[in-house]
């Protein structure tokens, strides 16, 4: 299983580029990638979904909170 945050980072062109798009710092992106046990916070998952134009959905990032059918509805 691939990491959806890595997909978002790659699509944005790196951690700094993604951070700029979602209004945070590169160090926070690194933290979510390397240390956060649950991944990104729910509100950040929504911002990443918007920044990637849906290529990485909030349900991809936080399936424990967002249902797939909720995103596609």
What was the pLDDT predicted at 22?
Answer: 98
Distant-in-sequence, close-in-space partners of 9: CB < 8 Å, separation ≥ 6: 15, 18, 29, 33
Q: CA angle, corner 17, sides to 23 and 20, nearest 5? A: 15
- Find out whether 59 and 71 touch, Cβ atoms under 8 Å: yes
pLDDT digits (tens, 9 = 90+) for 14-59: 999 999 999 999 999 999 999 999 999 999 999 999 999 999 999 9
Residue position matching structure tokens 């978002």: 8
Distant-in-sequence, close-in-space partners of 33: CB < 8 Å, separation ≥ 6: 3, 5, 6, 9, 15
Q: What is the pTM of this model?
A: 0.89
């Amino acid at each position: 299983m691939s990491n959806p945050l890595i997909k978002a980072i790659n699509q944005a062109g790196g951690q700094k580029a993604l951070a700029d798009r979602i209004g945070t710092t590169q160090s926070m992106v690194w933290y979510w990638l390397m240390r956060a046990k649950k991944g990104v916070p729910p509100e950040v998952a929504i911002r990443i979904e918007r920044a990637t134009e849906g290529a990485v959905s909030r349900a991809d990032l936080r399936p424990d909170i967002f249902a797939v059918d909720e995103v596609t509805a």
